[in-house]
Structure 1
Amino acid sequence: MLKKTFAALALSAAVIVPQALAADYVIDKKGQHAFINFKISHLGYSWLYGTFNDFDGTFSYDEAAPEASKVQVTINTASVDSNHAERDKHLRSGDFLNVDKHPQASFVSTGVAMTGEKTADISGDLTLNGVTKPVVIKAALTGMGQDPWGGYRAGFEGTTTLKLKDFDIAMDLGPASQEVQLILSVEGVRQ
């Protein structure tokens, strides 16, 4: 009888514990611990860097079953900032982000495939300039744990490369500038 009770408790713990490890996080936009940056070649001579200053997002992460994780991010495209007001005005125009017609871009994950102990390929649908395409973000767990304010945080970094023409961005910047790299660094606060 005692063996059956222990077996039942062990089975219950095996079922309950992984569920308890799954957690939902809100990206820490308020504390400015998250960034969506980009870089693109400027005529093949140098790199132009920029960021999106206004975005929101959530993710769920389960250490026991990371392939069940989910990500959702919405970017206000008018918040593009390349540290040059005239260039940013051009980036907001119909030549690039077309913010009047498409004020938001979004990413919604469709799957997570682990590629290492702390690395994964996050597949999802990116909507940019009114076009939705599948993309893969190469992601890595930066770290997780208690913060000094009594909360719990998890941080990830990821990269993906986009072809401008795939998202109907027709402005031709020359052969060295056909792709833009997105660099995402997010820290989430567990809810």
Structure 2
Amino acid sequence: MLPRQSLPFLLAGLALPLYTLTAAAEPHQYELDPEHTTISFMVDHLGYADTLGLFLEFDGTFTYDMETQELSDLSVTVQTASVESFNEARDNHVKNADFLNVETYPVMTFTGVSASPESETSGTVTGDLTLLGVTKPVTLDVTLNKAADYPFGHSRFTLGISATGTVKRSDFGMMYAVENGFVGDDVRITIETEAMRVE
């Protein structure tokens, strides 16, 4: 559980801009909108170019207090078998034991631990990433793009968030093609999300 502390940002270190707060502000839970969230990764292939991949199935929630800027309960779960790299043969390889080993490890999780603001709209969050049965700390750089009532449909208060970070495959025991450099060890992660307040 992410400790409750004064933060001008939330989810992966996001920041909230200054604006008028209501006197009755209180903690609210937020959830990632699956229709407006992208979890992607880039990894080097043979030194020629980076390969793009996505995870299509996931869920995530956190709690945030608008007045005190306290963040807690940040948790994201990704279904590893939902990986998509736009090539069926490559996807099948990424799902096997050389990489994600989805039959044995069907989910990976990120749980927030601590966060640090850098400005009114940026900061970092460090959490525990569990992948292939191994848990390691990962730090994400996060920017808050917008915080406002959604203009369409549900009209819920929504946060627009961008987060980036890098993990090493080898830290999680994913050693395939690391030594010969055919597949990069560093994997760059990008998260673009709209997080909706739970009514």
- Do Structure 1 and Structure 2 share a fold, with TM-score over 0.5? yes
Amino acid at match of 2:33: D
Which position in structure 1 is the counterpart of 2:192? 185
Which position in structure 2 is the counterpart of 1:110? 113
Which position in structure 2 is the counterpart of 1:89? 92
Which position in structure 1 is the counterpart of 2:168? 163
2:28 & 2:148 partners in 1: Cα distance? Answer: 12
- Structure with bigger helix share is 1
Contact 2:111 2:129 in 1 (8 A): yes
Contact 2:39 2:191 in 1 (8 A): yes
1:26 equivalent in alignment to 2:22: no
Sort the Cα spacing of 1:65 and 1:139 in 2 relative to 1 into closer, same or farther, 3 A.
farther
Contact 1:62 1:69 in 2 (8 A): no
User: Of residues 38, 41, 62 in structure 2, which corresponds to 1:35?
Assistant: 38
Q: Which runs of 5+ in 2 are unaligned?
A: 1-21
Amino acid at match of 2:36: H
1:115 & 1:130 partners in 2: Cα distance? Answer: 32
Amino acid at match of 2:165: T
> CA offset at residue 41 of structure 1?
1.0
Q: Which moved more, 1:34-43 or 1:58-67?
A: 58-67
User: Of residues 38, 52, 56 in structure 2, which corresponds to 1:49?
Assistant: 52
Task: Tell me: higher relative CO, structure 1 or 2? Use CA pairs within 8 A at least 6 residues apart.
Answer: 2
Sort the Cα spacing of 1:26 and 1:68 in 2 relative to 1 into closer, same or farther, 3 A.
closer
Q: Secondary structure at the match of 1:97?
A: coil
Pairing 1:63-74 to 2, within 5 Å after superposition: 63-66=66-69, 68-74=71-77
Q: Secondary structure at the match of 2:36?
A: coil
Q: CA-to-partner distance for each residue in 1:166-187, whole Å, 9 max, x for gaps?
A: 0110101443711100101111
Contact 2:25 2:67 in 1 (8 A): no
Which position in structure 2 is the counterpart of 1:100? 103
Q: CA-to-partner distance for each residue in 1:59-117, whole Å, 9 max, x for gaps?
A: 22334444535421000000000000010000000000010110000000011111111
Q: Which runs of 5+ in 1 are unaligned?
A: 1-15
Length-normalised TM-score, structure 1 = 0.84
Contact 1:27 1:189 in 2 (8 A): yes
Amino acid at match of 2:31: V
Which position in structure 2 is the counterpart of 1:139? 142
Sort the Cα spacing of 1:86 and 1:62 in 2 relative to 1 into closer, same or farther, 3 A.
same
Q: CA RMSD in A?
A: 1.8
Length-normalised TM-score, structure 2 = 0.81
Amino acid at match of 1:129: L
